[in-house]
Amino acid sequence: MSDLAIVDVGVSYGRFVAVRDVTLAVPAGTTLALVGESGSGKSSLAHAIARLLPPGTGLTGSVQVGGRELASLRGRDLRDVRGRVVSYLAQDAMAALNPVMRVGRQVGEVFARHQGLSRRESAGRAGDLLRRVGIQAPDLVARKFPHELSGGMRQRVMIAIALALAPEVLVADEPTTALDVTVQAEILALVRALQAERGFAIVWITHDMGVVAEIADDVAVMYGGRIVEQGPVRDVFAAPAHPYTRALIEAAREQPDTAAKARFLTIVGQPPAGELPSGCSFHPRCPVAIDRCSTERPGSRLIGEGRHAACHLAG
């Protein structure tokens, strides 16, 4: 399995810049959680890594898996890497699955389309895969339609599809947000077990700090389209260096129920929409801002082993 390297990635929709100068590394077999409020740019970055941005979106910088550049791929080359090199796990399994196709067929189609297997061979592989993602009686489940399954079962089917071609990188875009706490814990445990077995790298998008603590080795915090802090989860949680990270962790502690936290993770003030504020883009909401914060943008700098933060006061 290969490492994922993201270098100076930017994403823009016309004049609106959603992601700016993002550089991250995710070694094979590890999980990076990408965390931030709605509108922080994390989903745009996820789509950039999975090469699922809508046509006409501006993508700059480099997205490499095992040294292979994905950012410049087009057409058939791009279709060829989707699912095989990088795979995407969506939040809304109901929307992602075909409502009028039995789930076994949907899983089997991946093998038929990408590996040219016969319908019978594909069905056999689909059954094996459904069993591997913890679905009891896979033959029975394979004959059902998506609406006949529970939310947790649908997400297991989505995981089966995402991992069918043994990708090197899995981009998981808040896949447990709609699930209750118990089912969420089961899905996180399943993904961790599959990662330990297969060794793929994961980028897990979330706004739930409880999920970050559960699943990730490293965390990168996004604000205004930039990474404002990154480092090993344990170190960042023990001593967050950026005031925004501190606010996210405090907000999560005030909402101990995971499901509520996922819905209501809020801190004082509004995240920037459109034009960014001058200087540090967090300064209008920052409780410890100093004079230079409104005029001078802090660059990201090393503040400890494997840790970076973009704040004048960090370190």
Name the site residues for ligand SF4 (rule: CB under 6 A).
242-243, 280, 282-283, 286, 288-289, 293, 298, 311-313
Q: Least distance (Å) from ligand SF4 to the CB of residue 312?
A: 4
Q: Least distance (Å) from ligand SF4 to the CB of residue 307?
A: 15
Q: Which is nearer to ligand SF4, 171 or 311 (CB)?
A: 311
Q: Which is nearer to ligand SF4, 193 or 315 (CB)?
A: 315
Q: Which is nearer to ligand SF4, 193 or 302 (CB)?
A: 302
Q: Least distance (Å) from ligand SF4 to the CB of residue 145?
A: 49
Phi first, then psi: give them for residue 256, nearest 5 degrees: -65, -25
Strand-pair category, 58-65 with 86-89:
unpaired
Q: Which is nearer to ligand SF4, 94 or 267 (CB)?
A: 267
Q: Least distance (Å) from ligand SF4 to the CB of residue 148?
A: 49
What is the C-alpha separation between 286 and 151, in angstroms, rounded?
38
What is the C-alpha separation between 92 and 146, in angstroms, rounded?
12
Distances 283 to 70, 271, 293, 298, 314 between C-alpha atoms, Å: 35, 11, 6, 11, 14
Strand-pair category, 16-26 with 68-69:
unpaired
Distances 249 to 50, 136, 180, 236, 243 between C-alpha atoms, Å: 28, 37, 21, 10, 10
Q: Which is nearer to ligand SF4, 20 or 283 (CB)?
A: 283
Q: How many residues does the chain have?
A: 315
Q: Least distance (Å) from ligand SF4 to the CB of residue 310?
A: 7
Q: How many helices (H) and strands (E) are present in the chain, helices listed first?
A: 12, 12
